[in-house]
Amino acid sequence: MRVFVGVAILLAGALLDRGETKAAGAPSDDLRRAAIVAHVGPARTITVGELENRILAMPAFQRLAFGDSPTTIRHRFLSDVALREALELQGAEAAGLLQRLPSAYAVDRARSSATIRAIRTHLGPASSIPMDDELAYYEANLGRYQSPERYQIWRILCPTREEAQTVLDLALKDATPKTFSDLARDHSQDKATRLRGGNVGFVMGDGSSNEPGLRVDPAIVTAARTVRDGELVAHPVPEGDSFAVVWRRGTLAASKRTVDDVAAQIRDAVWSERVKNETDRLVAHLRESNLRDLNQALLDDVDLDSARRTRAPGLAAREKAGSDGSATQR
């Protein structure tokens, strides 16, 4: 798809003095909110006020998805949402997918999705993915579809056999998660799992765990195989220079799904990946060839705090209620 889009970024004229009080509706505040952060195409503008309104309309938890500081939220929302949607809309217009009419943001957003729909139509349905592509994806992601039997293991790593035997005796007297967790906290040398009851996750025969960065000696797995789910291994198990108290908590059976078993799932995954790649390429092309003179400094005038107090009365109270769990669920 060849898209020729005119995107011009205009610098705001006079910036509001940062120390000046910003009263809602005051001329100085109106000027600040009317400052144009970006011109996209011949008619679309993105202003400070629009960014404020859109960001503040989001629930607090959703806003945090864009970052942990106001500065990060402003920049990421502009780049990942506002500009991306505007560029997609321009792409749809340039390709003749829609007739541009004055509209509210909600309609603009719906229209911008026309570009995505066009990409999907161009790629065809997921059912058109060739079998060779399905097989290639299956082989590249074999671990998702085939896995050996795995054991959920909790273990306490002690420096000596004597200490491990003492810990084991105490655990056998009261084989409960609380007792085992307390013993792990007091005795285990494994700092990575000491504070979570010695839980090393679901472990395969080679000692590798589903928990990132965790691995145990394969001898631990061999010992766990000698007992049933919920049982403690009857003796301390050597692990390097230490000794482990091992509790087999559960088992995940081996899984082996063939390419035919997961063919529909694979086609959907490959198709979604291709739609995303094509969309990303289009947006990257539009940004590189048409977006210029972007003035990130204007984002400092997107005043989330004062906007919450003056233009969205009651929003802060609702967010506080939601954060402490007192909001009414509907």
User: For the chain, which domains are there?
Assistant: 7-126+269-323 (no CATH), 149-253 (3.10.50.40)
Give the mean pLDDT of 301-325. Answer: 53
Which tokens belong to 23?
A: 């009263």
Q: Predicted confidence band at 97 (pLDDT cuts at 50, 70, 90)?
A: low
Please check the confidence at residue 17 and state whether its pLDDT lies above 50: no
Please check the confidence at residue 15 and state whether its pLDDT lies above 60: no
| Contact by Cβ (8 Å): 264, 238 | no
Q: What is the pLDDT of residues 46-72, one digit of tens each?
A: 888 888 888 888 887 788 888 888 889
Please check the confidence at residue 13 and state whether its pLDDT lies above 70: no
Instruction: Identify the CA nearest to 253 among candidates 142, 152, 149.
Output: 149
What are the distances in angstroms from CA 218 to CA 205, 207, 233, 241? 6, 5, 15, 14
| CA separation for the pair 213, 193 (Å, rounded) | 11
The contacts of residue 311 (CB under 8 Å, 6+ apart) are: 24, 52, 53, 56
Q: Predicted confidence band at 89 (pLDDT cuts at 50, 70, 90)?
A: confident
Q: What is the pLDDT of residues 251-310, one digit of tens each?
A: 999 989 999 999 999 999 999 999 889 888 888 887 777 776 677 788 888 777 754 544
What are the distances in angstroms from CA 155 to CA 12, 159, 173, 193? 62, 13, 16, 9
| CA separation for the pair 277, 129 (Å, rounded) | 15
